[in-house]
Amino acid sequence: MYFLAKRVGKYIVSEKLILMNPKFKSILSASQFTKSELSELLDLTSLIENKLQSRKQIPLLNEYILATMFFEPSTRTRLSFESAMHRLGGRVITAVGMQFSSMAKGETLFDTLKVLESYADICAIRHPVEGASALAAQTISIPVINAGDGAGEHPTQGLLDLYTIAHYKKLDEKPLNIGFVGDIKYGRTIHSLIQLLSHFDCHFTLISPKELQLDEKYISFLKKQKKEFLITEDLNKLSECDVAYVTRIQEERFIDHREFEKFHNYYIIDKEVVEKCKKDIIIMHPLPRLSEISTDVDDMPQAKYFHQAKNGLFTRMALLLYSLNINIK
Amino acid sequence: MYFLAKRVGKYIVSEKLILMNPKFKSILSASQFTKSELSELLDLTSLIENKLQSRKQIPLLNEYILATMFFEPSTRTRLSFESAMHRLGGRVITAVGMQFSSMAKGETLFDTLKVLESYADICAIRHPVEGASALAAQTISIPVINAGDGAGEHPTQGLLDLYTIAHYKKLDEKPLNIGFVGDIKYGRTIHSLIQLLSHFDCHFTLISPKELQLDEKYISFLKKQKKEFLITEDLNKLSECDVAYVTRIQEERFIDHREFEKFHNYYIIDKEVVEKCKKDIIIMHPLPRLSEISTDVDDMPQAKYFHQAKNGLFTRMALLLYSLNINIK
Amino acid sequence: MYFLAKRVGKYIVSEKLILMNPKFKSILSASQFTKSELSELLDLTSLIENKLQSRKQIPLLNEYILATMFFEPSTRTRLSFESAMHRLGGRVITAVGMQFSSMAKGETLFDTLKVLESYADICAIRHPVEGASALAAQTISIPVINAGDGAGEHPTQGLLDLYTIAHYKKLDEKPLNIGFVGDIKYGRTIHSLIQLLSHFDCHFTLISPKELQLDEKYISFLKKQKKEFLITEDLNKLSECDVAYVTRIQEERFIDHREFEKFHNYYIIDKEVVEKCKKDIIIMHPLPRLSEISTDVDDMPQAKYFHQAKNGLFTRMALLLYSLNINIK
């Protein structure tokens, strides 16, 4: 099975890494976590959020250096990591657009990483090619955090999404109906989040145009996990959900621009739609958004997408500590 | 009147902001300051300059993060802010060329700012569109410093210019004759400085080619403020000035390049010119300069343009403390 | 003689600088160091390497700011300096791609530097034009470290190479045979290293295609220094060497691409070649490498090119302290 294979694959990576540095843990895939590890991370994130209400810094990484190595641009993800490191008292060195430097002269990613590992204690890597972070974790002796690798994973986004849901809806208290709206086929944040949520008591309402439905391999995964799910094109089904996770239709996925035009305003979550939902629904979005959530929702208490972005800071602080095996107490 | 309207507009911004965060003050426009606020800022800047003579850091912002968000490049302004933050013990995160990231996917400035506000305690924004900083100050809950918004304002430049004049020429001790030379029509630093100086005892000598004379709205402003001024094309009038504020003819302002050619060496301040002026005149320039001040002036004691750049550091340190309402004593 | 002339030239620079700031020393050229200064630097670097085995930071530059000013991109050199500064507890401000900012408006390098000196306590400059760092050292009152100036020098690379050799092979204990392989004509790191090594007991084996042999002026230098050297095309001569310093054939040096094609796989150091060498030979490379060292060498104990990169960190920490005249004890 795809997920198990991936999990095993990633596990080998982790174990090889653990052998190299028994103290450290790389963050490569949403599938690498057990339920108890997830619970531990959620608790740690919550503790950090609480501590930051009365202070600006939790100085646990005072002498550490984080390298943010972004082989493709992603300003907000990069700044979220850098702010997280600063809030822990650490230092940051940054490489963006590295494709234009040594690698343009024909250097391999392996060599680039071997050199860069000397300069930092931990690194966050964004790369357009799937598996780049796993390669990094096998190559270098400092922990690696996958900050997005192409069509692959973006586990820190999945974890911050999970934390946001856990923050507003207690997990495992009663079953949660999680609604996904938009491009469910290509949205990698959805795929990561489904994997993470599969550890908890929830079922899924998957609302998308027929052409952008959940991929067969994820459907098999949900069946194997014995998770209920509803595949539908009907936005009205959102009224039964506890969470609405909305995604952008990604223009860059369509070869034929007329196809994109067809879908890009397919669902619009506006005030009227939200008012028909459960009163305590939370509206999430990984951002950036285009028109799929109207701005008249922004001031409604259900809108949580900007809080979600803020949770990225707490989550990444937790992951930095977790990777480096630094105890907060 | 243009200025009053602007001032009111900006004031509303400030007051809305003050309501959101009564402790903080955004720096949006040269027109937002009262005379007593300017005096307070000048004193604070002077205190900082003195303190930095015997030490490298005044660690008042140890746990704070400044975000420099530069939607158009301006290396020296950015580095001036970043150095100011470091000299106060704070941290910096930087976004340059952000137009190439999320916003390229169609995100609004509003959304970008809402996300970024989670990552920092104060931000300095440079944006090509006038009013972008005011929008930012209304959008986010951390103080905003306008680091230049298109044809709009660049208040920190205005304040460092004012500080430089105050440093070499006591304000309000006797009337000062401030000479402006060059492109008085389009030079936004001149417009900010005229507003700031209008609080003090001074009059203006405006030396420019006819086509680049001071705009009608600023002339009205000066009249309303009951400020004397002389509009002339004659560089000899500089001999009566206490300050010569020289600006670059900005090539990018001219559609017809022959027009630019006509003006760009119109006035050249060289050693000979300076020697005909008052002995204690100070020569200022917001930099970068081209040929409008010859390099043979650089070693003359009257040349203050590099000191002026250094004053940018002290001024921005003062503004960071002022915005965050941190007391230096 | 070229070297003496250069040395004198650089010396004048240094002395002028010393007059400006008797406390500081700029690092401009491999030729500026006496043997005793080199020994002092090697000892300091070694001390730093030892200290960093048990800790992450040697906080001697806590309130200092380093400006990395890269007028052409070189991510790894920049990050090496920045990491070095952070490991010393200091702060960093960074300007890359500055050619696109004020200088694009026609500003001179002199003016740019005069402004930037206000923002930092020391700077590392990379510039495409030879002599840019020397100009900087004459222009500004903070120490300048040359991080590479075009076809000129890259002294910090030379010093880290020297340190690597000193680390694995005791200098002056017995004569060392230093082999250079590849583009000996254009490789500026080779030229710096030859100058530095000429202070010590060693001779040279220069293996290159005829067209890429050592330039006449360096041959004269070696003769003047009474250093033995062998010029050859035969890679087998490597078997007598204690050090193999391999360089990339730089595509950008060839106008006719067919010329490049002819040379670029001329010598390949693979496992088989290394096994024919002395058992304790060390294989070095300034990186990035292409195919001139095969990856099957990477795991051999002789391969030291990644250690060499790491030594860049210790060397640059030593140079920051040395330039600023900060004593480690």
Nearest C-alpha of chain A: how many angstroms from B71?
Answer: 12
C76 and C136 assigned to the same domain:
yes
What pLDDT is recorded for position C178? 98
Give a yes or no: residue A116 inside a domain.
yes
C114/B76 CB distance under 8 A: no
- Asked whether the beta carbons of C316 and C92 are under 8 A apart, the reply is no
Q: Which residues pair with C96 in a beta bridge?
A: C70
Nearest C-alpha of chain B: how many angstroms from C63?
Answer: 6
Neighbours of C329 (CB within 10 A): 3
Of A147, A185, A1, the residue nearest A68 (C-alpha)? A147
Nearest C-alpha of chain C: how many angstroms from A133?
Answer: 19
Residue C88 has pLDDT above 80, yes or no: yes
Q: What is the chain A residue with the closest CA to C80?
A: A119
Q: Residue count of chain A, please give it.
A: 329
C218 and C294 assigned to the same domain:
yes
C105-141: per-residue pLDDT in tens? 678 888 989 998 999 999 999 998 888 999 999 989 9
B113 and B11 assigned to the same domain:
yes
C295 and C163 assigned to the same domain:
yes
Query: One-letter amino acid identity for C71?
Result: F
Give a yes or no: residue A316 inside a domain.
no
Of B303, B190, B198, the residue nearest B249 (C-alpha)? B190
C53-75: per-residue pLDDT in tens? 999 999 999 999 999 999 888 88
Label residue A290 exposed, middle or buried (CB < 10 Å: 0-12, 13-18, 19+): middle
A105/C288 CB distance under 8 A: yes
C131 and C170 assigned to the same domain:
no
Asked if the interface predicted TM-score (ipTM) of this complex is over 0.85, the answer is yes
C95/B79 CB distance under 8 A: yes
Determine which of C78, C79, C317 to mutate to test the interface with A (most A C-beta atoms within 10 Å): C79
What pLDDT is recorded for position A2? 27
B122 and B242 assigned to the same domain:
no
Q: Over its length of 329 residues, how does chain B's per-residue pLDDT go in tens digits?
A: 223 223 333 333 334 443 345 678 999 999 999 999 999 999 999 999 999 999 999 999 999 999 999 988 888 999 999 999 999 999 999 998 755 466 666 788 889 899 989 999 999 999 988 889 999 999 899 999 999 988 778 999 999 999 999 999 999 999 999 999 999 998 889 999 999 999 999 999 999 999 999 999 999 999 999 999 999 999 999 999 999 999 998 877 777 888 888 887 889 999 999 999 999 999 999 999 989 999 999 999 999 999 999 999 999 999 999 999 999 87
Domain end, chosen from A150, A183, A212, is at A150
Nearest C-alpha of chain B: how many angstroms from C149?
Answer: 21
B83 and B215 assigned to the same domain:
no
Instruction: Kindly indicate the confidence band of residue C201, based on its pLDDT and cuts at 50, 70 and 90.
Output: very high
C107/B74 CB distance under 8 A: no
Query: One-letter amino acid identity for A1?
Result: M
Task: Please state, in angstroms and rounded to a whole number, the distance separating the CA atoms of residues C185 and C175.
Answer: 25
What pLDDT is recorded for position B230? 98
A34-84: per-residue pLDDT in tens? 999 999 999 999 999 999 999 999 999 999 999 999 988 888 999 999 999
Query: One-letter amino acid identity for C302?
Result: Q
What end-to-end distance do the CA atoms of chain B give, in Å? 40
Q: How far is CA A137 from CA A85, C163, C254, in A?
A: 20, 29, 37
Structure tokens at C204: 């040279």
B89 and B188 assigned to the same domain:
no
Query: One-letter amino acid identity for B224?
Result: K
What pLDDT is recorded for position C20? 45
Structure tokens at A264: 């890009």
Give a yes or no: residue A100 inside a domain.
yes
Task: Please state, in angstroms and rounded to a whole number, the distance separating the CA atoms of residues B146 and B131.
Answer: 9
Structure tokens at B146: 């306008």
Domain end, chosen from B135, B150, B165, is at B150
Of B72, B65, B83, the residue nearest B121 (C-alpha)? B65
Q: What is the chain B residue with the closest CA to C64?
A: B56
B174 and B113 assigned to the same domain:
no
Task: Please state, in angstroms and rounded to a whole number, the distance separating the CA atoms of residues A1 and A7.
Answer: 10
Give a yes or no: residue C41 inside a domain.
no
Residue C48 has pLDDT above 90, yes or no: yes
Mean pLDDT of all residues in C11-28 = 59
Element (H, E) at B148: strand B144-149
Residues of B with a Cβ under 8 Å from any C Cβ are 55-57, 73-76, 79-80, 82-83, 86-87, 92, 94, 248, 251, 287-290, 295, 306, 309-310, 312-313
Element (H, E) at C147: strand C144-149
Instruction: Kindly indicate the confidence band of residue C13, based on its pLDDT and cuts at 50, 70 and 90.
Output: very low
Query: One-letter amino acid identity for C3?
Result: F
Q: What is the CATH number of the domain that holds C301?
A: 3.40.50.1370
Determine which of A119, A135, A326 to mutate to test the interface with C (most C C-beta atoms within 10 Å): A119
List the alpha helices (DSSP H) in C169-211.
Answer: 188-197
Element (H, E) at A146: strand A144-149
Domain end, chosen from A104, A131, A150, is at A150
B115/A83 CB distance under 8 A: no
Provide the domain limits for residue A70: 2-32+63-150
Q: What mean pLDDT, rounded, does chain C reach?
A: 89
What total of structural domains would you count in chain A?
2
A73/B100 CB distance under 8 A: yes
Using a CB-CB distance cutoff of 8 angstroms, which residues of chain C are in contact with residue B148?
none
Give a yes or no: residue C95 inside a domain.
yes
Residue C14 has pLDDT above 90, yes or no: no
Label residue A276 exposed, middle or buried (CB < 10 Å: 0-12, 13-18, 19+): exposed
- Asked whether the beta carbons of B288 and C105 are under 8 A apart, the reply is yes
Structure tokens at C196: 């530095």
Q: What mean pLDDT, rounded, does chain B reach?
A: 89
- Asked whether the beta carbons of C289 and C305 are under 8 A apart, the reply is yes
Task: Please state, in angstroms and rounded to a whole number, the distance separating the CA atoms of residues B27 and B37.
Answer: 12
A102/C76 CB distance under 8 A: yes
B141 and B166 assigned to the same domain:
no
User: Number of A:C CB contacts under 8 A?
Assistant: 68
Contacts of B253 (CB under 8 A, 6+ apart): B183, B186, B260
C107 and C236 assigned to the same domain:
no
Task: Please state, in angstroms and rounded to a whole number, the distance separating the CA atoms of residues B5 and B2.
Answer: 5
Structure tokens at C57: 């930071």
DSSP character at residue C240:
G
Q: Over its length of 329 residues, how does chain A's per-residue pLDDT go in tens digits?
A: 223 223 333 333 334 443 345 678 999 999 999 999 999 999 999 999 999 999 999 999 999 999 999 988 888 999 999 999 999 999 999 998 755 466 666 788 889 899 989 999 999 999 988 889 999 999 899 999 999 988 778 999 999 999 999 999 999 999 999 999 999 998 889 999 999 999 999 999 999 999 999 999 999 999 999 999 999 999 999 999 999 999 998 877 777 888 888 887 889 999 999 999 999 999 999 999 989 999 999 999 999 999 999 999 999 999 999 999 999 87
Nearest C-alpha of chain B: how many angstroms from C118?
Answer: 5
Is the pTM above the cut of 0.95? no
Residues of C with a Cβ under 8 Å from any B Cβ are 63-65, 67, 91, 93-95, 97-98, 100-103, 105-107, 110-112, 114-116, 118-121
Neighbours of B224 (CB within 10 A): 12
Task: Please state, in angstroms and rounded to a whole number, the distance separating the CA atoms of residues C241 and A13.
Answer: 39
Query: One-letter amino acid identity for A304?
Result: K
A12 and A128 assigned to the same domain:
yes
Give a yes or no: residue B52 inside a domain.
no
A95/C74 CB distance under 8 A: no
A106/C290 CB distance under 8 A: yes
Please name the member of B63, B67, B110 whose beta carbon is closest to the beta carbon of A56: B63
Give a yes or no: residue C131 inside a domain.
yes
Please name the member of B86, B295, B306 whose beta carbon is closest to the beta carbon of C93: B86
What pLDDT is recorded for position C12? 38
DSSP character at residue C183:
-
Using a CB-CB distance cutoff of 8 angstroms, which residues of chain B are in contact with residue C109?
none
What pLDDT is recorded for position A93? 97
Using a CB-CB distance cutoff of 8 angstroms, which residues of chain B are in contact with residue A248?
105
What is the secondary structure of A115-137 as a DSSP string? Answer: HHGGG-SEEEEEESSTTHHHHHH
A76/B115 CB distance under 8 A: yes
Residue C301 has pLDDT above 90, yes or no: yes
Q: How would you list the strands of the sheet with C243-246, edge to edge?
A: C229-232, C202-207, C176-181, C243-246, C282-284
Determine which of B53, B76, B87 to mutate to test the interface with C (most C C-beta atoms within 10 Å): B76
Using a CB-CB distance cutoff of 8 angstroms, which residues of chain B are in contact with residue C120?
83
Rounded (10°) CA dihedral C97, A148, A133, C147: 10
Give a yes or no: residue C120 inside a domain.
yes
DSSP character at residue A327:
-
Quote the distance between the C-alpha of residue B161 and its chain's center. Answer: 7
Q: How would you list the strands of the sheet with B243-246, edge to edge?
A: B229-232, B202-207, B176-181, B243-246, B282-284
What end-to-end distance do the CA atoms of chain A give, in Å? 40
Rounded (10°) CA dihedral C146, C148, C151, C152: 20
Q: What is the chain A residue with the closest CA to C56?
A: A63
Of A306, A313, A25, the residue nearest A145 (C-alpha)? A25
Instruction: Kindly indicate the confidence band of residue C152, based on its pLDDT and cuts at 50, 70 and 90.
Output: confident
